[in-house]
Structure 1
Amino acid sequence: MRVFMFLPMCMFFFFCKAQDIQMSLNMFRSGDVLVKKQISCKNLVQKGDDVLWDISDADVINKSYKVKYTDVSGHKDRMACTERATMYYYDLHNDTLLIGGFENNSTKIDYDLKEISLRFPMKYGDFYSGLFHGTGTYCDKVSMRSFGKYTVEADACGTLVLPEGDTLRSVTRIHTERFVYGVSYPADSIVAISSRPLSTDSIIRFMEQKPFLLKTDIYRWYAAGYRYPVLEKHVTCLHGHEGKPYTETFYIPLSGQEKSDNNETRKNAVRSVTDGQTSGGIKENIEYYKVFLQEASSLSLRLEYRMAHPAEISYGVFTSDGKSVCQGGHTMMQSGTHSVDIDMSGCRNGVYVVYIDAGGHRYTEKITLKR
């Protein structure tokens, strides 16, 4: 069994304190209008603690995609979110935000067994699961039940690099996984099926015997100081086509959330690549780095770092008494995210010092390897 211990030696390693999702700061607000940008990007699958997500090179597919939040007349504690010509209903019950249904030009579903969207407060590591059930109509020609199971997990926290070059610290990602099942009936059956919801036992039994119709994975990235997610990813697949998912990713520019009332929190959440100054007024070359050990077929140490602007990089690993384990680099690296793996399989137990030198600025970490 190996135990890895990390002891920080300098102020430049940015440990991320996960952003808690709170009702006062992150609950929907009637009258808010957001403009999303649909983007094309990769490398958003990482989960865990102290993750680096980089969408600085994302391509914009759709520049104008509006989302509007409104109260629902006659329904206390219900709010509607309208996007893509569909109105989604959310109900706030005590500390829990529930999905109450949706409707558009073709389909209307009301949930009697509602799905958890968020539970306040929600922090990294929190996990919820359950069942949902609703009834409705399709094109006024078919009545149907829509039901299934879901999980909601705050599965990652870390740092998000934005297309404008800004870096958001204390970002928490919420992952929702849904499996949707359905049964259709004649159009005039809606009253009968609405008055007889399926029991939880019936839902579970159906799911054990029948394949799902639709599976969706929704990822939402929340940053300190911003009411709504700054990034969303939706992955949808049909039964039998799991290998060909349909993926959409949306970025909500920070300027579109400036009316949020979390101003003081926001001031401490965003760090631009242009404001990393030393006391001598020299820009830092590395705005983020991470050092960690990983095990595959052999033990290796990985350095991940993001360059604010081009600089020559060198790195090394030394024993505590100064003997060199590895030295490398001395290469001009461009701005962006980079990584390097260093073989540690032949190293003995003990303390090692890792350094990265970027254009004359040295960043140092100490690790302890125990087997």
Structure 2
Amino acid sequence: MKAGLLVFLMSAGFVLPVCGQLNTLHNHFRPGDVLIKQQVEYVDPGNSGVNKIWSFSRLKTINEEYTLRYDSPPLEGDSIYILGDNRYKKKDTKDNELIVGTEHNTMYSYHLTHDSLLQMGHENPSVKLAYTSPIVLMHFPLNYGQTTTSDYKSEGLYSGTVHIRTQGTMTTTADAYGKMILPSGDTLSPVLRVKTIQTIFDIPDKDSYTTDETNNAGKQLETCRWYSKGYRYPVFETICNINLADSTEIFKTAFFFPPQDHLYLDTDPDNQALLDELWKGTESDMVSKEGKTVTLEDIMVCKLYPNPVESMLNIEYELEEDAKVSFELYSIEGMPVKRIQAKLQKAGIYCETLDCSSLYPKNYVLRITANGMFVNEVVIKK
């Protein structure tokens, strides 16, 4: 990579675990993965920072289904990959190093090299564009507070005859961290937000690589993507295109990637393992105590009502002995939704309530835990 192409800035002190980090193992594109996106109403992505709460629960759906697919590039013969105008020997290419993403009749070309994800160009029936100096989308691993900045240049054709030449800067920042409420009503936490800001200026003529900002104010494309532990791809995305001459919006939109439609997880053991951690507690609903096998039912009897529930779920339980008790509500996909923090209770009868009024109508799982043992009960939200 040429000197000056990539500036990698690390903020002091913020290096979070995998839930606050994007890395090649868990987040790089894979050939064969297909994602379903729903176009929803645009929402302001909000400010950067930590402990943020994003609520996208009341957004109206505009288009039920878009498809985004990732594939390996086509082969010339059986030994050369074709990626835009570039050729790569298959024997010298690593797995998943070259990727083509197809969305909205547009193909985007990507190259992972030296832990940097480069965008090499894109093409559709109207435009074919190659980045003569590639866009650096991000550098792996990407932790909260880190920024990648690169300059780029591109050349191409519009309608096969009109020459296009642009230049600009791409800045990618993992700028926010917190939890989000999805359009489905589910809650995801922790969530890492990654913001990209791309400036786009036309190059007036072939001999000039300078930008006259008076005559060529250009455009700015701001994209925010929210990533959650256990999901290779974003779960939400906002896009806003701005005319830099007068700061007017050219267009803006948003997309929701329903977690239940992330079918690639069936063949993604690395991310499935992260999701499975959400369900980790004890390995069994029984323990050995003074040479006897003790189950949760031996020390606790629990009753849930009403179920199906419309607003408030009542949890009545009786303890036969002192116990540390907690309740956690999960979506069927394994995402935590609500929680009653663990309490050390004396033997006796107790009642707790969970407010389910804001939940999306569907089935959930309530995990009831006492002294390290647990059982799961289905809760139906109507």
TM-score scaled by length of structure 2 = 0.62
* 1:182 to partner: Cα distance: 1.3
Matched with 1:147 is: 167
- How many Å separate the matches in 1 of 2:106 and 2:236? 20
Show the counterpart of 1:230.
235
The total of aligned residue pairs comes to 265
* Counterpart residue type for residue 264 of structure 1: A
Aligned to 2:253: 248
The answer to whether the aligner puts 1:206 opposite 2:211 as a matched pair is yes
Task: Give yes or no for contact 1:148–1:181 (8 Å, CA) kept in 2.
Answer: yes
From the superposition, tell whether residues 269 and 232 of structure 1 become closer, same or farther in structure 2 (CA, over 3 Å). Answer: farther
**1:100–1:111 CA contact under 8 A, matched in 2:** yes
Give CA-to-partner distance per residue, 1:10-52, whole Å, 9 cap, x none.
xxxxx99852101011010101111100111535313210100
- CA drift at 1:247: 1.1
Equivalences for residues 178-189 of structure 1 within 5 A: 178-183=198-203
Provide Cα deviations, 1:205-258, integer angstroms capped at 9, x if missing partner. Answer: 425564333210011111110000111111012344523342110000101224
Quote the Cα distance in structure 2 between the aligned partners of 1:275 and 1:23: 42
Deviation at 1:140, TM superposition (A): 1.6
Match of 2:40 in 1: 39
Cα–Cα, structure 1 residues 283 and 71, in superposed 2: closer, same or farther, change >3 Å?
Answer: closer
Structure 1 vs Structure 2: percent identity of aligned residues? 27
Residues 282, 124 of structure 1: alpha-carbon distance in 2 compared, 3 angstrom cutoff: closer
Q: What is the CA deviation profile of residues 123-177 of structure 1, one whole-angstrom value per residue up to 9, with x for unaligned ones?
A: 1000121211011111122112121112110010110112222211121111000
Deviation at 1:55, TM superposition (A): 1.1
Which residue matches 2:177?
A: 157
The within-5 A match list for 1:55-74 is 55-73=56-74, 74=81
- Which residue in 1 is equivalent to 2:49? 48
> What is the CA–CA distance in structure 2 between the aligned matches of 1:282 and 1:31, rounded to whole Å?
35
Computed over aligned residues only, the root mean square deviation of the Cα atoms, in angstroms, reads: 3.4
Counterpart residue number, 2:355 = 309
Write the deviation string for residues 276-328 of structure 1: whole angstroms up to 9, x where unpaired.
989276989x948xxxxxxxxxxxxxxxxxx9627xxxxxxxxxxxxxxxxxx
- The aligned residue for residue 111 of structure 2 is 91
Letter in 2 for 1:279: V
Aligned partner of residue 163 in structure 1, secondary structure: coil
Separation in 1, partners of 2:134, 2:314: 46
Q: Aligned residue for 2:194?
A: 174
- 57 and 276 in structure 1: CA distance in 2 versus 1, 3 angstrom threshold: farther
Q: More deviation in 30-39 or 136-145? A: 136-145
C-alpha distance in 1, partners of 2:276/2:180?
16
1:286-301 to structure 2, matched below 5 A, reads 287=338
Greater relative contact order structure (CA < 8 Å, 6+ sep): 1
Amino acid in structure 2 at the alignment position of 1:62: N
Corresponding position of 1:267 = 276
